[in-house]
């Protein structure tokens, strides 16, 4: 009996040891002490979270219509700091968001806009650039060199990445590409904005920049002075007309706009005074200010007058 009892005790001890090992195998192995601070064990998610994460999509959008609710398409940069939805107060299903590096209107963006308008009813396009854009910090050649350095000299990177230096002008250029697209109508509403990252404000950009006085001149006379009229009581310098800053309407000019009015020193008889002290005042070599100004506006050549009747400008 003593031998049988001893055998039973050994069997019971072995079974207890096996049970302890089985329970220890079920517990996660703790990480080494030197890695524990840097790589803590992830928390075990709650049962509700585990169920939500196993679904194909956490928020169902199948009940939304296919066309965007606000009939809007937005072209903007892929920068994650540009919060388009909050800036435009958009919700899921309100607009088509087309994002790429720099917010450029590429051929593929035009393809998407054509589909948005003709098939899905989009009636308004908004182009949004933003401050501190990455394409303003690099040049095309710099990016190409960086790619070759990392990938090897045999790699042929894109010739251009669409880098730019003027933020507002880049927004205008993208708007011009939308307007120039042959399969998008002119009736499509178009707007442009610059998004300020630090303030979150949207500043509108006009498609046509503000004109300077020199840009108001007709193309035929922009940057040109009076075609050499000879002597007008002395020598008339072309700079006299070009440096004038006063803006007055000119009549009877065929082109509309405001033109710089030339400055003259008029004598009592209404003719330009001599620009050279002591110059001979010959009445036959004088032109009236109206004739000189007309020649300036119309780009006409004024012949040396040989008489009162011959003192008429004629077109080139």
| 181 in a labelled binding site | no
The Cα 29–Cα 36 span in angstroms is 12
CA 131 to chain centre: 10
Q: What is the pLDDT of residue 8?
A: 76
* Exposure of 90 in the CB half-sphere (CA atoms within 13 A): 19
pLDDT in tens, 173-187: 999 999 999 999 999
Dihedral of the alpha carbons of 48, 53, 54, 60, in degrees to the nearest 10 = 100
CA quadruple 116, 117, 122, 128: dihedral sign: positive
Distance CA 224, CA 299 (A): 8
CATH of 72-204, one of 3.30.200.210, 3.40.1050.10, 3.20.20.140, 1.20.1290.10: 3.40.1050.10
pLDDT at 209: 74
Among 265, 248, 266, which residue's Cα sits nearest to residue 257?
248
pTM over 0.75: no
Per-10-residue mean pLDDT of the chain, 316 residues long, equals: 72 79 67 47 58 58 87 96 92 95 96 96 96 91 91 89 93 96 95 94 86 41 39 38 39 45 43 43 52 59 52 51
The 3-state DSSP class for residue 62 equals coil
Residue 79 labeled ligand binder: yes
Q: What is the pLDDT of residues 163-172, one digit of tens each?
A: 999 999 999 9
Residue 252: partners with Cβ closer than 8 Å, 6 or more residues away: 294
Q: Dihedral (C-alpha) 165, 167, 169, 171: value to the nearest 10 degrees? A: 130
Question: Which element (helix H / strand E) includes 125?
Answer: strand 124-130
Tokens at residue 217, please?
Answer: 């001149």
Query: Buried (b) or exposed (e) across 168-178, using 16+ Cβ within 10 A?
Result: eebbbbbbebb
CB under 8 Å to 105, separation ≥6 — which residues? 75, 127, 174, 175, 177, 178
- What phi, psi does 229 have (nearest 5°)? -90, 10
Q: What is the pLDDT of residue 265?
A: 43
List the chain domain ranges.
72-204, 213-316
> What is the reported pLDDT for 5?
75
Q: 266 pairs with which residues across the strands?
A: 272
| Residue 292: per-residue pLDDT | 60
CA distance 138 to 131: 14
For 276-283, which contacts have Cβ atoms below 8 Å and span 24 or more sequence positions? 276/234, 276/235, 279/231, 279/233, 279/234, 281/233, 282/233
């Amino acid at each position: 009996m003593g031998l049988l009892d001893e055998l039973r005790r050994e069997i019971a001890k072995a079974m207890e040891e096996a049970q302890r090992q089985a329970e220890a195998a079920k517990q996660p192995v703790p990480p080494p002490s030197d890695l524990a601070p840097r790589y803590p064990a992830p928390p075990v998610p709650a049962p509700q979270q585990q169920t939500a994460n196993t679904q194909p999509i956490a928020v169902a959008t199948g009940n939304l219509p296919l066309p965007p609710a606000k009939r809007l398409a937005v072209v903007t940069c892929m920068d994650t700091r540009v919060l388009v939805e909050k800036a435009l107060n958009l919700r899921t299903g309100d607009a088509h968001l087309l994002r790429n590096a720099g917010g450029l209107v590429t051929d593929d963006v035009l393809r998407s806009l054509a589909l948005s308008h003709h098939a899905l009813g989009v009636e308004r396009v908004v182009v949004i650039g933003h401050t501190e854009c990455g394409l303003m910090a690099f040049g095309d050649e710099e990016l190409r060199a960086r790619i070759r350095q990392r990938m090897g000299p045999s790699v042929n990177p894109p010739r251009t990445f669409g880098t730019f230096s003027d933020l507002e002008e880049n927004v205008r250029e993208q708007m011009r590409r939308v307007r120039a697209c042959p399969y998008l109508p002119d009736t499509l509403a178009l707007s442009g904005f610059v998004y300020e990252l630090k303030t979150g404000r949207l500043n509108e950009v006009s498609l046509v920049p503000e004109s300077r006085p020199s840009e108001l001149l007709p193309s035929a006379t922009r940057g040109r002075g009076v075609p050499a009229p000879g002597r007008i009581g002395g020598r008339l310098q072309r700079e006299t007309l070009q440096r004038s800053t006063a803006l007055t309407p000119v009549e009877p000019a065929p082109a509309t706009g405001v033109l710089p009015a030339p400055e003259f020193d008029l004598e009592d008889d209404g003719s330009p005074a001599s620009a050279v002290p002591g110059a001979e005042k010959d009445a036959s070599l004088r032109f009236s200010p109206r004739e000189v100004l007309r020649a300036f506006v119309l780009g006409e050549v004024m012949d040396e007058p040989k008489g009162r009747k011959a003192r008429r400008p004629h077109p080139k």
